[in-house]
Amino acid sequence: DIQMTQSPSSLSASVGDRVTITCRASQSIANSLNWYKQKLGKAPRLLIYAASSLQSGVPSRFSGSGSGTDFTLTISSLQPEDFATYYCQQTYSSLGITFGQGTRLEIK
């Protein structure tokens, strides 16, 4: 199956900072990559699909890029509600959908 590796596993940042999270696939997945945000005790929320398409209702400070094996999620100006755990998800393989291990974004 396709392995997804996120980096960093955790990071600390301040409100207003620009933050980038990286997701790397063990083989090419074209643009079959989605991003989710999960706050503690809540279900995940879809942010980005198809690597760079913003889900309806998601603030424009979130953006995604990449194709092939390397992808990034960028938050242009961190807001207090953005401190959460972020997951990437690949949906390229017919053998199954897999997630990255998560990136925990904490307040500095």
List contacts with another protein (CB under 8 A).
Answer: 1, 32, 34, 36, 38, 42-46, 49-50, 55, 87, 89, 91, 94-102
Strands (E), the chain: 4-7, 10-13, 19-25, 33-38, 45-49, 53-54, 62-67, 70-75, 85-90, 98-99, 103-107
Least distance from another protein to the Cβ atom of residue 86, Å: 11
Least distance from another protein to the Cβ atom of residue 4, Å: 10
Q: Which is nearer to another protein, 11 or 46 (CB)?
A: 46
Least distance from another protein to the Cβ atom of residue 87, Å: 6
